[in-house]
Chain A
């Protein structure tokens, strides 16, 4: 037993030293730099080259962006101001074109005193999708979501308020027919009647009904024809309408393609393959050109509506294939488990299969939506004034002839914001749903 202990030996510390920081070269930013950027001669070279490339790119674009001119009436005026303030031939953007025309790029030719209407419609849209997108919002708000398309339609196009009401009544009619017939006549008859009744109603009754109501109690706001729609608003309306309409249609098509019923299966396969096998631009030309030949002369089938229908069908075919991928990824046991519980086809789909399949398909669905949203710029080829089309029109005026990058940078920024938010939401959703199979 030794009695040696710390108090008796002078070269032994009496207390623990407090933890010291690692040396400067081994911590913080320097460590990170050393480990990630300068860990060997090859990485050092790569880092230096990359830094130079980044510097070079920024050195060429930043002065152009930052020293841009915001107040001018035309491109030549821009150039004069630039020559006066920055010197002859300096690099400077002419952002003045955006100041002059941003409203047109956003709203097209929509009457400027009515800009509040599309803005309000956008607010309603954001409020309406909140209950769909985020589970925290109370479920009761879904009623608002169901009503909102009619309100938005009325706000955007205006006219008599009775028209969207009359159209909405068609859905109520179909629902009522379903509730009344389903217990008595079986689901097949009920489904056929509840689909056919609203269509007949829309053809023959909705129009006169809306006119009658309008004459009794006139509620209306100024009508804005489709051709006044343009700019980013047009892209947004076509994109959003197609996204919302194509999802249910795509799911139905995917189920149809999986179906054992011969006709439904073949019709779904044919639809998907034909629509998907032809480029979107061809469908747009079909919408704008061919339909004109088939329709009786003098009829006015709104071009924007034709485009929305075509883009919806196109997107639905893609969504169907994405969802089919999700359905195929589910183990067979899930289908069999649903059957063994005695669930009907629709019950098993709604409660067991689709929630899982859709969860798997989220990245693919959002990917399709982002692609679809950007594809709306193709309408420029059939003479609609989307932002790209407007940039051509703006360039055709004498003031702004010869301006390119400023407009494209602005349009690109707008699309990036929308597409980036969609992609962030899909990431959020994936995280929240915590898919088990990773």
Chain B
């Protein structure tokens, strides 16, 4: 660890044959640190604060996994990845898991040889327009100029949507979200389209948010979730069930405030007991200690707490739960039983 950069470089060039890769769990434990790929900066989902401490909705998943495996939510080595580098970083083993608002698609799951372990945010593509435009539905956007990030699935979704509805549009290609905001504010386009969560975050930064309205249509499915690479199912199980533990904790009312109390002794709800390890041997089945889920929940709270803290209605981003409510509240967030 202390031995430095250049030594690593020099020895590496000498090593030609790679040693057989050990199980990811053992590697992480030996390293004492989880290498977690994150976004280079996306409001609410992941960004370093003034002290360089990473915070955000996706970042919390990394912290929960680190807490479950290493009993220390700060034992995470955050590797910032861009849209281009994220998959290679994961495939090459530079990172152990990727929690970077990545859409779960068929080809990524199969062709790129990754395993999406679940969905932590159901997103979808939407539109924002100035209120002055007098548009109340995306169906009224015939002939509009639309700011759109090039080379993304949003571009293809936009083309599909307008073609399905027999409408025409004029694309204004932009490179980044920041550029999109500026172009839209400068009036270079009538509407700006990107993921609805991004639109909400963008709108929150405007001087006069009330002058802009996010249209109700969501034109695509963007299930975002953490992923690991193929080939180590035990590790995939750990990440998957850590996420499920956070979700289940919200369903059963286990919060960061009461988790220690609930985990102290078996309570009346057997599902909670099994989750927190006061009953059964679930931890041992995935190679962790029996109180792994307790540690994960204590790290940043349950799914609902993480949501509220980072992107919820009381934050500047102000996202409603919507599709991301628990299934008991009419949403899609659903954890399989802990049994």
Q: Which residues in A have some Cβ–Cβ distance to B below 8 Å?
A: 75-76, 79, 89, 100-101, 104, 108-109, 112, 157, 159-160, 163, 167, 202-203, 206-207, 210-211, 220, 223, 226-228, 285, 288-289, 292-293, 295-302, 304-305, 380-385, 389, 392-398, 401-402, 404
Contact = CB atoms under 8 A, between A and B. Distances in A.
Given A297-B18, A383-B82, 8 more contacts: A223-B4, A288-B88, A289-B85, A289-B92, A292-B93, A296-B17, A392-B40, A395-B178
Interface residues of B, number: 61
A393 B50 contact: no
Contact of A301 (B8, B21, B80, B202): B8
28 contacts: A75-B205, A76-B316, A79-B207, A101-B50, A109-B52, A203-B14, A206-B7, A223-B4, A226-B5, A288-B88, A289-B84, A289-B85, A296-B17, A299-B8, A299-B15, A299-B18, A300-B12, A305-B6, A381-B84, A383-B40, A383-B82, A389-B80, A393-B80, A395-B43, A396-B40, A396-B42, A401-B43, A404-B182
Given A297-B21, A398-B315, A104 B40 contact: no
Contact of A396 (B47, B51, B85): B47
Given A395-B178, A402-B206, A301 B9 contact: yes
B47 A397 contact: yes
A392 B21 contact: no
A228 to B, nearest CB: 8
Contacts of B3: 159, 163, 207, 211
B220 interface: no
B49 interface: yes
Contacts of A206: 7, 10
B171 interface: no
Nearest to A204: B14
A203 B85 contact: no
A104 B178 contact: no
A396 B3 CA distance: 34
Interface in B188-221: 201-202, 204-207
B15 A104 contact: no
Nearest to B92: A292
Nearest to B46: A396
B75 to A, nearest CB: 14
Contact of A393 (B2, B5, B40, B205): B40
A297 B93 contact: yes
A395 B41 contact: yes
Nearest to A306: B9
A385 B11 CA distance: 26
Interface string B85-118: 1001101111000000000000000000000000
Contacts of A228: 52
Contacts of A226: 5
Contacts of B42: 396
B19 interface: yes
A contact face: mostly helix, strand, loop, or mixed: helix
B201 A401 contact: yes
B120 interface: no
Nearest to B86: A383
B11 A207 contact: yes
A167 B316 contact: no
Interface string B233-253: 000000000000000000000
Contacts of B178: 392, 395, 404
B37 to A, nearest CB: 9
B27 A298 contact: yes
Chain A CB count within 10 A is highest, among B4, B11, B47, B89, for B4
B48 interface: yes
Interface string B156-197: 000000000000000000001010011000000000000000
Interface in B9-37: 9-12, 14-19, 21-22, 27
A298 B21 contact: yes
B9 A288 contact: no
A302 B9 contact: yes
Contacts of B94: 292
A304 B14 contact: no
A223 B2 contact: yes
A380 B175 CA distance: 14
A220 B4 CA distance: 12
Interface string B314-339: 01110000000000000000000000
Given A292-B88, A292-B94, A402-B205, A159 B52 contact: no
A304 B5 CA distance: 9
Given A297-B93, A401-B204, A401-B205, A383 B50 contact: no
